[in-house]
Amino acid sequence: MTGQHLTYHEPVLLQECLDALAIRPDGTYVDVTFGGGGHSRAILAQLGPEGSLVAFDRDADARSNAPDDPRFTLVASDFRWVANHLRFLGKLPVDGLLADLGVSSHQFDTAERGFSFRFDAPLDMRMNQQAKRTAADLVNSLDERALTDLLNTYGEVHNAHKVARRLVQARTQERISTTFQLVEILRPMARRGEEHGFLAQVFQALRIAVNDELASLERLLEVSAEVVKPGGRLVVMSYHSLEDRLVKNWMRAGHLQGKEEKDLFGNSLRPFKPTQSKAVQPSEKEQLENPRARSARLRTAVRQ
């Protein structure tokens, strides 16, 4: 493993993810969020010659991390299309699916991608750089009501309507095109001592909207019953409540809003059964060593 792989993205809850997948040496697995390849490499290390792993990533940067291994296939696609691609590859159904949601450390730390307010960069935030719409496009084109809804829904931003109004006013002076422009416009609106958290919420909201992340997750969960074979594992790690709520509802009820459906005999129709009642969280030690692990929540369910 090269130094690049170690610094690209430090896998969170790595051993817990491997344990949750209950890897069989001859099994077929899918890692729908390849990133730096840390989880994928660890899965490959537990597979025998008959095993196989398919990984997904819509970010072209991820290709440079792909291991040269005949058991491994990397698909350059949004994971919402996982069932289509696996069907084409003749890999359905699989023994386990792993999703490590959100943004990789590499994406946050590559200044020009515009994911972080720590660097001055174009206000971009596209995971797939072939996509047309950037964060700047949203900030400069959406009306006040649409911006308010975006900030409320995806960032749970305090006083979202005031933030939206300020953005609409600011863009009449000049186009908001960089991360630092956005920070300068919004910093005065943060509560004292809460600037970092406030900006993180705004940037998260824009990133989720640009990449349509929740729609991708919803589609992934809805096709997971088709992708994972009975007895197989669905393992999902999320980093904010919007994602975690969807995952929890799906695993517990087989419904994204958490409405449990039953057959005529009162039996639950949910396709998965959670292995634990609560999400697994990183230890204090891991949180200290990797601050980005703090908000991670890992949930696992078995296909029934």
d(CA 151, CA 146): 9
**Over the stretch 69-122, which tens digit does the pLDDT of each residue have?**
999 999 999 999 999 999 999 999 999 999 999 777 667 777 778 888 888 999
pTM of the model: 0.92
CATH no. of 115-211: 1.10.150.170
Average pLDDT of 162-170?
A: 98
Average pLDDT of 131-148?
A: 97
Tell me the H-state helices in 98-211. Answer: 105-109, 135-141, 144-155, 160-170, 179-186, 195-211
Q: Residue 102: its pLDDT value, please? A: 78
Q: Residue 123: its pLDDT value, please? A: 97
**Over the stretch 182-205, which tens digit does the pLDDT of each residue have?**
999 999 999 999 999 999 999 999
Q: Residue 261: its pLDDT value, please? A: 85
Average pLDDT of 223-247?
A: 97
Q: Which residue intervals of the chain bear CATH 1.10.150.170?
A: 115-211
Contacts of 250 (CB under 8 A, 6+ apart): 221, 224, 256, 272
Q: Which CATH superfamily is domain 3-106+214-303 in?
A: Vaccinia Virus protein VP39 (3.40.50.150)
Q: Cα angle at 142 between 136 and 144, to 5 degrees?
A: 120
Q: Residue 105: its pLDDT value, please? A: 66
Q: Cα angle at 297 between 294 and 303, to 5 degrees?
A: 160
Let me know: does 30 contact 98? Beta carbons within 8 Å. yes
Q: Residue 9: its pLDDT value, please? A: 56
Average pLDDT, the chain: 93
Average pLDDT of 137-149?
A: 98
- Beta-bridge mates of residue 99: 236
Average pLDDT of 233-256?
A: 96
Average pLDDT of 145-169?
A: 97
Q: Residue 50: its pLDDT value, please? A: 98
Q: Residue 5: its pLDDT value, please? A: 40
**Over the stretch 33-58, which tens digit does the pLDDT of each residue have?**
998 899 999 999 999 999 999 999 99
d(CA 12, CA 17): 9
d(CA 55, CA 17): 15
More confident residue, 234 or 2: 234
31 SS3 class = strand
Q: Residue 161: its pLDDT value, please? A: 98
Q: Residue 3: its pLDDT value, please? A: 38
Contacts of 78 (CB under 8 A, 6+ apart): 56, 58, 128, 216
Q: Which residue intervals of the chain bear CATH 3.40.50.150?
A: 3-106+214-303
